[in-house]
Amino acid sequence: MARGVRHPAETRSAVIAAIMAGEDLVNVARTFDVPARTVRHWVQVSPDVCRASIPKKRAVLPELVSDYLTSSLETLTEHAHLMCDPAWLGQLNARELALLHGRTFDRAFRILEAQ
């Protein structure tokens, strides 16, 4: 029973070469219009592929978390500058000022606590 499309040998060779060059498996599959599962199979059965030479997928999550935290801290810094503006502060009532102070202190304390 045939299990799909037969791909030309040139395509298979180009896919294996791209994987060995360190390209991401999913991106290679998209580029060559070959199912990712097929690409995985080709990599597994290919005698040319040294698994140790294939780079592991980069950790994206730590990078995203770092970027998010940096952006959040920059935003909080801008908020802190805004909160020093007497004209802006004058628009708030006592309750709003107390909430603002409490939240600002809480965030600053949590950041320090994490260090």
Q: Measured between alpha carbons, how far is 43 from 37 in angstroms, rounded to an integer?
A: 10
Helix axis angle for 9-20 and 25-32, nearest 10°, is 150
CB 19 within 8 A of CB 43: yes
Residue 50's pLDDT is what? Answer: 58
Residue 58's pLDDT is what? Answer: 60
Q: Which pTM does this prediction carry?
A: 0.43
Residue 53's pLDDT is what? Answer: 54
Residue 31's pLDDT is what? Answer: 92
* Average pLDDT of the residues in 29-39: 90
CB 28 within 8 A of CB 42: no
* Average pLDDT of the residues in 82-106: 86
CB under 8 A, 24+ apart: contacts of 39-44: 39/15, 42/12, 42/15, 42/16, 43/16, 43/19
Percent of the chain residues topping a pLDDT of 70: 86
Distance of alpha carbon 61 from its chain centroid, rounded?
5
